[in-house]
Structures are given as C-alpha cells and as structure tokens.
A and B are shown apart, each in its own frame.
Chain A
C-alpha cells in the first residue's frame, strides 16, 4: 500500500486533469463526427486511468512517480493515436497500451531484485540467443518482421531490454575475476562483446539499421560505466580514445554502408519530394503548418502519409496539437527518464540498468524525431510509448518497468546467501 495516501490522490487528480484537458481540446477543436466518438474515447482513457490507479496499489513499491508518468504518457498516446484521421478510439493502440502496462509490471517484478536477476544471467543470454535464432529462421528473407496471422512482430525490439540487462550484468560482475593461465579475466566481458558483435551483424544482415544505433547506444553506455568503474578512474584519455575509436568505426561503417543507406544519407528531400524525401518533406511541412498551437486534433493532413502513426509521429502530433504541446510531451518522457537522478538506484546493477533504459529511450526518440525532421538520416524507428506498434510498445513498457524496479529495489538474497555463506560461517566460527 502506498505510504502517503494524500499524495497518491493528488497525483491521480492531476493525471486525470491533464487527460481531461486534452479530451476537452479534442471535443471542441477536434473533427469528431459525433460526440459519441469523443465520449467513447474519454471513457476508455479515463477508465484505464482509474483501473491502473487501483492496480498500482497492489504492488509494493517505494516510488510511484514513474507509474503516474507512464499512465500519463500512455493515455496521451492513446488520445493522439485516436485522433489521426478523425476522432475514433484506436482500439488496436488501446490494447497495446494495456499490454504495455502489463509488460511494465512484469518488468518491475522481474527486475526488482538485482541479486536474483544477476544469477539468472544465463537465461538472459539464452533468451537473446533464442530471439536471434528466431530472427534468422522465422522472418522472411532478410527482414525484421515475423508475421503470425494478421499480427507482425519485430523480434529485434525484444532483444533491447534483454541487452540492457546483459549490460547491467556485465558491469555488476566486474569484481568476479577469474584467473585463466596468467591473466585475470571477467567472462562477462567476452560474453557481452561477443553478443554486441553478433547483434550488430544481425541488424546489418536483416537491414534493420534503425535499431543499430540504439544497441550501440546502450552498449556504449554500459562500456563507459565499466571502463570508469574497476579499471581506471574517469580518465579523460580513455574517454577520448573510446570516442575516437567509435567515430572511426562509425565513419567506416558509413563508408561501406549498403546502397540504400548511402542513398538516404545523400538525399536532398526538397528536390525529391515524391521519392525518398516524401515522408520527411511532408512531415516538415506539417510541423510548419501546425505552428505553435496546431490545427486541432483530427484536422491534420499527415494521416494520409505512410507510417504517420509511428515513423513520423512527431510531425503528425505536432501538426494536430501544435509544436508546443508536442515538446511538452517529450519533456514528460524526459522527466520520466530523469527520475533516477532524483531518487538514485541503490546498486550497480540497477544504476547501469537505468542508464541503459535512458540510452534506449533517448536514442529511439532522437532517431525518430531528428530523422523525420531531416537533421539526421531517416530511419524507421519508433518513439517509445508514443508511436503505434505492438513490439515497440511492449518493449518500452517493460523498460519503464525496469526503471520502476530500480526505484523500488529489493535486497533479498536468501538463495545466494545459503549457497555462499555456509562455508564462510564454518571458517569464522
């Protein structure tokens, strides 16, 4: 049960208030064909709010701030997605949001005990292995989608949280050096480097280059935490060397990138408005058209463009709700990521995990937003929690669960203690 019922109610009220304000905006400014559509949307959103407020209390947590932020952002995305091309509840996105909330709670339960999770590392590696095999065998020829009936799953999304966990394990295990011949080595290092290489090759192979920077971002995050941790202090030389190496690798990668990537890098979108610059140019026009205050929910024109609900969702929202509001939403996501700064995690495992989650969110958001606005090459990645897309929503929900776990950690170690401490006791007795 929550410690302070008063604060809980205050938070609930404010979340409901901001959703209601948005719904009012939809009702008065929107292009709803009938009020019924708005009412259905309102009932769905506010109902989900209430349901989650109650479910939230069933979990023993020290901190609920991220939970509130999560439901705030998720239901905003439901409202956004429901307004594209006319106001009507986007049932598909609504369901993925519920699944995402469930994934969040699952993530919390799995990750709340760092010691326990650290011991389960072989399952993490196993799961990544299974997913890689699944990508290699089940996806169509060199693509990133598995089609089951009408549902398409992007398995590489699911690797991301596991990869964050692998990074966290790797940092937390740094003390466990084993002597092999004359060298002290940490097995985890080899495991993680190997894993990173395999994943990068895999992304390259299945042409999912949008996800590649995210993985690299998470890895760099973990790697910095490691090289800063047991070996040397935060040495500038190391950092600069690592940065230079990364830059060189990136440049080489770009040099030898496949043709379709090269094409994306060297496209002047305004000269190719109907070809490869189609989405970006329309996205930018839409943002400019929306201005600060937007055209009103449901009045956008971008909903006729391919991938308006995920790849260029920033522009779609910006057109309908205004750039100002869209920036606020991004700010809310940033605040959610910044909660570990306010309330620090209590173990290396959790702190690395938080940093990894942050890296995931920021990388995805940057790639999406800056890509769709033509500041960097356009890759089809999603904004976590905002873009439509089942795999991405579930993954990001799980990641938020990991953040929550880092806020409300558990330090039980019963299994571990029995195994390790018995001989010690005998020795010291």
Chain B
C-alpha cells in the first residue's frame, strides 16, 4: 500500500508536469503559427512596400525606420553625403511618411526638398548622393 501511494504520487506529479510541459510546448507552436498571421497583418499595414537602391532593396519591417550613415541606423547608407541620422520613415494604416531628423543635406522627394511628406508608390527619394525608390515589393512571398 505504501509502495502504491508512493508511486502514484510520483506518477501524478509527473503527469501534471508533463501536461504543463505539453501545454507550454503547444502554445509555443501556436505562437510560431501566429507569427505568420502577424506578418500578413503587417503586410496589410505596410502595404508591402520597400525602399530600393540600384543594387539592394531594404524591406520595411517595423513601424519606424531610421535612415542614416551611422552603423546603428536601420537602413545604413555608407556615404559621406548622408547624415549620420538623416531621415525616419513612419507608417500608419498603410501610409508611409518620411521625416527629416536634422540632416545636413535635406531630403528630396521627386526632386522637391521636404521636411515631412507622405510617400506614394514609386516616389524617388534623394538623401545626399544616395537615391532610393519607394516601391511595392516585387516578391510578396518573401516574409
């Protein structure tokens, strides 16, 4: 009898621990699954836009994107004509806005000097000598 209660207590304890572990594991998997939905939602908000330079394109994966020469900038443009912290891109309901954050050479959108401006598809942005095109991402399957 003693032996039985002993084993049963360990068994039940192990079962509770296992159930908890299993549940946590399932929820981790669910979280991974939800990542996909979150990405889809993000694509809807961001309108699947990207900034593309002639040789490379930068995906827009978060709500604020810092553009500058500094290594910590989200989009790093290693050119002396670009300020260390040049411009910031923000999104709201699928609309992207570019804002100057104290650059020396300013921002030109389609040739016009702006401090803040809503971007439309295929706008050409000039930061110093660098030229970026705001356009819809070519391959939508890329996350």
- A and B from one assembly? yes
Chain A contacts to B: CB under 8 angstroms:
3-4, 7, 10-11, 14-15, 17-18, 20-22, 24-25, 28-29, 62-65, 68-69, 72, 76, 114-115, 172, 175, 177, 184, 228-230, 232-234, 293-294, 296, 321-322, 324-325, 328-329, 331-332, 335, 339, 342-350, 407-409, 411-413, 416-417, 420-421, 424-425, 427-428
B117 at the interface (CB under 8 A from A): yes
Residues of B within 8 A of A22 (CB): 16, 19-20
Across the interface, B13 reaches (CB within 8 A) one of A64, A325, A420, namely A325
Q: Is the CB of A18 within 8 A of B23?
A: yes
Q: Is the CB of A325 within 8 A of B27?
A: no
Which candidate, B51-59, B62-70, B126-134, is the interface stretch facing chain A?
A: B62-70
Which B residue's beta carbon lies closest to that of A427? B114
Over the window 28-66 of chain B, the binary record of Cβ atoms lying under 8 Å from chain A Cβ atoms (1 yes, 0 no) is 101111110110011001000000000000000111101
Q: Is the CB of A28 within 8 A of B72?
A: no
B79 at the interface (CB under 8 A from A): no
Across the interface, B23 reaches (CB within 8 A) one of A15, A293, A324, namely A15
Cross-chain pairs A/B with CB under 8 angstroms, 18 sampled: A10-B30, A14-B26, A28-B12, A29-B9, A65-B31, A175-B88, A184-B102, A229-B72, A321-B13, A328-B17, A332-B24, A335-B24, A343-B35, A407-B38, A411-B45, A416-B92, A424-B117, A428-B114
Q: Is the CB of B12 within 8 A of A62?
A: no
Bound CA–CA A407/B42 (angstroms): 11
Residues of A within 8 A of B19 (CB): 14, 17-18, 20-22
Q: Given that A24-B15, A62-B41, A322-B13 are known contacts, is A417 also in contact with B92, CB under 8 Å in the complex? A: yes
Q: Is the CB of A72 within 8 A of B92?
A: no
Which A residue's beta carbon lies closest to that of B116? A424
Bound CA–CA A407/B34 (angstroms): 10
Q: Is the CB of A21 within 8 A of B16?
A: yes
Which A residue's beta carbon lies closest to that of B94? A411
Residues of B within 8 A of A15 (CB): 23
Which B residue's beta carbon lies closest to that of A69? B27
Residues of A within 8 A of B23 (CB): 14-15, 17-18, 72
| Size bracket of the B interface | 35 or more
Q: Is the CB of A233 within 8 A of B24?
A: no
Residues of B within 8 A of A425 (CB): 118
CB distance from B61 to the nearest CB of A (A): 8
Q: Is the CB of A7 within 8 A of B30?
A: yes
Which B residue's beta carbon lies closest to that of A324? B17
Bound CA–CA A293/B116 (angstroms): 63
Across the interface, B62 reaches (CB within 8 A) one of A21, A28, A346, namely A346
Q: Given that A24-B15, A184-B102, A294-B13 are known contacts, is A63 also in contact with B20, CB under 8 Å in the complex? A: no
B97 at the interface (CB under 8 A from A): yes
Q: Is the CB of A331 within 8 A of B24?
A: yes
Which B residue's beta carbon lies closest to that of A4? B33
Residues of B within 8 A of A293 (CB): 9-10, 13-14
Residues of A within 8 A of B117 (CB): 424, 428
B122 at the interface (CB under 8 A from A): no
B112 at the interface (CB under 8 A from A): yes
Known: A10-B26, A72-B23. 12 other contacts (CB 8 A): A3-B37, A18-B20, A18-B23, A24-B12, A28-B12, A177-B101, A230-B72, A293-B13, A321-B16, A322-B17, A342-B35, A346-B63
Bound CA–CA A333/B91 (angstroms): 32
Across the interface, B24 reaches (CB within 8 A) one of A69, A409, A411, A427, namely A69
CB distance from A8 to the nearest CB of B (A): 9
Q: Is the CB of B27 within 8 A of A25?
A: no
Max chain A CB contacts within 10 Å: which of B13, B28, B99, B118? B13
Q: Is the CB of B35 within 8 A of A18?
A: no
Which A residue's beta carbon lies closest to that of B39? A343
Across the interface, A421 reaches (CB within 8 A) one of B32, B64, B97, B101, namely B97
Residues of B within 8 A of A416 (CB): 92
Across the interface, B63 reaches (CB within 8 A) one of A7, A342, A411, A427, namely A411
Q: Given that A14-B23, A65-B30, A175-B101 are known contacts, is A230 also in contact with B85, CB under 8 Å in the complex? A: yes
B80 at the interface (CB under 8 A from A): no
Residues of A within 8 A of B35 (CB): 342-343
Q: Is the CB of B37 within 8 A of A62?
A: yes
Q: Is the CB of B13 within 8 A of A335?
A: no
Bound CA–CA A302/B66 (angstroms): 54
Q: Given that A14-B22, A18-B20, A233-B72 are known contacts, is A7 also in contact with B116, CB under 8 Å in the complex? A: no
Bound CA–CA A166/B65 (angstroms): 21
In residues 88-129 of chain B, which contact A (Cβ within 8 Å)? 88, 91-93, 95, 97, 99, 101-102, 109, 112, 114-118
Residues of B within 8 A of A408 (CB): 38
Q: Is the CB of B34 within 8 A of A64?
A: yes
CB distance from A331 to the nearest CB of B (A): 7
Bound CA–CA A115/B45 (angstroms): 14
For the complex of A and B, the 5 pairs showing the least CB-CB separation, nearest first, are: A347-B63, A413-B92, A21-B19, A65-B31, A233-B71
Residues of B within 8 A of A4 (CB): 33, 37
Residues of B within 8 A of A420 (CB): 116
Residues of A within 8 A of B115 (CB): 424
